Every structure is written in C-alpha cells, then in structure tokens.
A and B are shown apart, each in its own frame.
Chain A
C-alpha cells in the first residue's frame, strides 16, 4: 500500500511539473495558434537565470534570486516574441513551427556556451523527506505542489476575473473578431507571453530545485508537456493541468505493473490514443 500511495504522490509531483509547462505552452497556442517548441528553453533558462543570480558576482540568497530570475525569463519570452514571432505574425503555422524549433536550438546552445554542457546544481543541502502514512515528501516537493496550486489560482483569477483576461480569452477565441470589437490584441498577446514565460521560469526553477540543471532539461520534459497539452485539448488551460496530472500519474503507476523501460511508452500511448479519437486537436480546428 505504501508503494501505491507513494507512486500516486510521485505521479502528482511529476504531473505538477508537466502541468506548469503545459499551461504555458497551451496559453501561447490559444492566443497565437502555434506550438512554441522553444518553450522548453524558457524553462531551462529560467532555471539557469536563478543559477546566475545565486552565483558570483551576484551571490544572492536563493529565495531573493527567484524574483529577478523569473523577471529575466519573462524578458526573454518577450524578446523571443519581439524578435522572432512578431515579424512572423501573419506567417503560416509551419513557418512558425520551424522558427520555434530553430529558436529552441539557438537558446539551448547559448546556455551551453555560457554555462557549459555539464550538469549543475543549486547546491542545496539534501534532506530526508517528511514521513506520513508511509509516504515521504521533501520540503522541495511540497513547494512544487504548493506553487503549482498557487499558479493555477493566479492564472484563473487573471483569466476570469480581470478585463485583461477577458480580452485574452477573446483574442484566443477569434483574433479578427476581437480586433473588430476594439480589443487591444497586441496587449493581450504580450500578456500571454508574460504569463507563459513566468510559468516556464517557475516550473524550470522548481524542476532544478528538485533535480539538477542541464541545458537539455527543458526539451526532455517539453515532449511530455506537449502530450499533456494534447490530452487536455490544445488551448485549454484546465485541460493542460488535467493532462499533466494524467500523464504524471499514468507513467508512475504503470511502473508498478510493467517494466520501467516502457514508462515513456505509456505516456505516449495515451497521447496517440487521444490523437486518434480526437484528431481535430492537431488540425487546428477549435474544440469549442
């Protein structure tokens, strides 16, 4: 029983990370209608920005360094949009997809240029997890769950309780129509980038706190986040959250019965199943 419960907890943890990534991914998809393959690099840069601020010459304490790190990630997200995606606003989906992929390589190699390919850590002292009901959880893991919940609540408030959120949803529904009724589309798009990058930076920092930093950390988890996005319905924020949790739980619970060598296969089998039964998600037609 402990093993089952612990696997559920492990699944939720993995799911929280996937969900944070998937929410950012789906947000950009919803507003701009393309898959931002460079999202994984925002995640990775978020983690490395924190590393930058806690090491020389800044040497900030970890908790203080989080704010400038996320701020830098947001700036990077806005620069990405300004330099690459805004000039391509009218381009077709394929062009945007390839531009995003190219950007992903550029940013990954840039990180490697500055910090090298070696694996790094924030150097936190590791500790035994708290035990209850035979399940162990560390402070970092509780932080992951807590921050994910907080992010979901904040994003909910932004989307459904502010006029900016309303206009973002309108742009997401129909860009042209939103413009016709006088919604400032440019402002909505900028807001989407800020939220998406902030989610990516937060997720990246949490992931690095829990494990290590390396230039590939974003890209590895992005594929799962992408699967989560598809499961939840592209452009759907709640779907992304749910999709992340489903993937996290499915792959962790599957290990109890089948060989862990097939852990990834489970996640992608679910994704393929969704694609086969709900193919409109990738053809670009809206679900609603």
Chain B
C-alpha cells in the first residue's frame, strides 16, 4: 500500500511541479489580461487577433533567440475587480515579467498598482487616460493620451463653426478625461458648452439623454461614446428625428459601430490618434491581417496591440527576460522605432512623445478619413 502511495505522490509531483517548469524553459511567456468576456469583450477579441498575428510572425522567424513566444491569455471579464485578479494571476502563477494590461482606462488603472508593486512591466495599447501610467515606472503606454485628442476635437468643432455645443460622455475615466480635455480647450477658444450629460455604459435605452442633449436643437452634439452605446444612441436619435452633427472621440471609430447603427451612423465625424496608413509598415500589417483572417476590417486599436507585441519582444531581446531588464530596455528600443502606428518614442511619463491626431467620418457605411 505504501508503494502505491509513493507512486501516487510521484505522479502528482510530475503533474503539478515538473511540467510547468519544463514549459517555462521552452517558451518565453508574455501575459495578456484581456477582456475576453463581459461588456467590452467586443474589443478584446479584436486585440487578441492582432496580438496572435504578431506572435505568429515572430515565432515563424524563430522567436526570441530560438525560443518560441507564448501569450498567456487571462480573461479580465471587463470589470476592474477581475482585471486585478487576472493581472495578479499572471504575475504570481504564470510568473511573467511583462504583460499586456486590460483595455479601458478604468480597468487598466485598477490593475496597474498590482504590476507596479510586483515590479512587473505592464503595457497598454489602448488606455488613453491622462493618469494611466502614474502608478509607477513599470507602467507604459504606446498610445497618445486624451488631452491631445480633446484639444483636437475642440479645434474641429470650432473650425466647423460650432461655437455652442452640448457634450455627452460615457461616465468613466476615459469619457471624463476626454470631456475635460475638450471642455478646457473649447472654452479657451471662446466656445460655449451648453450642457454636460454623462451617461452610463451598457444601457439599452438612451432616449431621454439624447432628448436632453437635443434641447434647443443644437447644430452639433459632442458625444464621447463607445461602440455599442454609440450604435444604440445614433439609432435612437435617428428614430426620434434628432438632426444634428455628431462629433465623437476615438472609441466609436469601429466598423462594428457602423454595422450595428446602420445608416444612423452616416455622417458622424470624430477624432482619433491617427496612424499614417500609407507607410510600408501599415500596408504590410494590413496585408498580413487579411491573409490570416480573411478580411481587412482591422479591429479598433488592433494595430497598437500589434506594435505592442513587437516592442515587448524587442525589449526582451535587448534587456533579457526579466522585468527589470525589459523596463530599462523599453524606452531604448522604442526610441525612433517606426511601427504600424507610427513613431513609438516614449516621453518622460512613459507615454507617447508624438501624437498625430486624425479625423474620421462615416460615409456610405464605411469609416473613412474626414476631409473638409
């Protein structure tokens, strides 16, 4: 009987201890706490596609010094609480020295202190909140912040001749931040914000909010909204015959939004951190995406996620597979690096130094660049 017990113990040992250790030697693991379920899973699935695309490319070329890269996905369920759990699991169980943080500034900022305290590098490819990286020197973002976008949106409204506008915004860190950026710049230019209307995420009925925004029939309404929320709002506004020029931020700029809202989204104009699409990097990325997934509808922020993988891998190659090494190597490898999303040089706050802002609009059911 004791022999049997010993055998049992050995089997257990092999199963639970030996295999992860061996796996760790074969591959280089990078964590990804993505929204694979919950309210913003509509984004998460797109990010994953682009991360997988970059990883496949790198692995096909031999990975990092012959070792394959493996992304350990952890579902953050789109809630701040589960984001913290997902990041903690990646750090303590999978022991990754670098991880891709959750989308949504609120979610990312909830989890950032965990990575900072554990001294693990955490990167964001879509968090645009001003304070995103304030948790500490291990937190990086490779997308421009909201203040720059808010300024651009204010300039757009002003240039189009809209001097008095109400502002609707999604009531979270992203919306609040962009709203502040917009309102500040717009007032400085001499514009008047007639009403400020926060709305909750994930609702199915925004009619009364829209009604209030449309009070006095403004020529334009600034609506800092998301894909799902935006599609419902534009639809309900269309049904109520609200005729106004919608001005949006970057989060609504998604083929999915247009698909859901149909013709109600026609003519919406917005700002977004622009990506020069005529570069050879962008064209190659688009080609590769089409080859792997069969369509060229690049998911929103997918290009940033793709760049994030390459930056992380370059930092591992240069600094070694330790958090400290990656942290130190990241600014160096990013300096002057031209990715799919342009120049990736970091500023002092570990955000993007350069930020080109583009304008988008919906024309004939497609998202295109807006030109006056």
Please, which residues of chain B bring their CB within 8 A of the CB of A252?
207-208
Is A260 a contact of B204 with CB atoms below 8 Å?
A: no
Instruction: Indicate if B345 sits at the interface (CB-CB under 8 A).
Output: no
Is A119 a contact of B260 with CB atoms below 8 Å?
A: yes
Residue of B nearest to A124 (CB): B262
Interface of B is mostly: helix
Instruction: Indicate if A221 sits at the interface (CB-CB under 8 A).
Output: yes
Instruction: Indicate if B295 sits at the interface (CB-CB under 8 A).
Output: no
Cβ 8 A contact of B241, one of A131, A221, A261 = A131
Please, which residues of chain A bring their CB within 8 A of the CB of B239?
126-129, 136, 138, 141
Is B198 a contact of A117 with CB atoms below 8 Å?
A: no
Is A126 a contact of B241 with CB atoms below 8 Å?
A: no
Instruction: Indicate if A237 sits at the interface (CB-CB under 8 A).
Output: no
Is A261 a contact of B212 with CB atoms below 8 Å?
A: no
Q: How far is the CB of B274 from chain A (nearest CB, A)?
A: 26
Interface residues on A, range: 35 or more
Please, which residues of chain B bring their CB within 8 A of the CB of A127?
239
Is A119 a contact of B211 with CB atoms below 8 Å?
A: no
Given contacts A214-B228, A261-B199, A264-B200, contact A10 B38 (CB under 8 A): no
Q: How far is the CB of A33 from chain B (nearest CB, A)?
A: 30
Q: How far is the CB of A254 from chain B (nearest CB, A)?
A: 9
Please, which residues of chain B bring their CB within 8 A of the CB of A112?
37, 41
Interface residues of B in 335-369 (CB under 8 A from A): none
Q: How far is the CB of B76 from chain A (nearest CB, A)?
A: 12
Please, which residues of chain A bring their CB within 8 A of the CB of B196?
259
Instruction: Indicate if B187 sits at the interface (CB-CB under 8 A).
Output: no
Residue of B nearest to A112 (CB): B37
| Interface 9-residue window, one of B90-98, B99-107, B230-238 | B230-238
Subset of 29 A-B contacts with CB under 8 Å: A3-B211, A3-B215, A13-B205, A13-B207, A117-B36, A117-B38, A117-B41, A118-B256, A119-B42, A119-B228, A126-B261, A126-B264, A128-B241, A136-B239, A212-B228, A212-B231, A212-B232, A214-B228, A217-B204, A251-B208, A252-B207, A252-B208, A256-B208, A259-B198, A260-B199, A260-B209, A260-B212, A263-B200, A263-B208
Q: Point out residues on B near A: beta carbons under 8 Å.
A: 36-39, 41-42, 44-45, 171, 196-200, 202-205, 207-209, 211-212, 215, 227-228, 231-232, 235, 238-241, 256, 259-264
Q: Which 10 A-B pairs have the closest CB atoms?
A: A117-B41, A261-B198, A10-B207, A211-B204, A255-B208, A252-B208, A260-B209, A138-B239, A118-B42, A136-B240
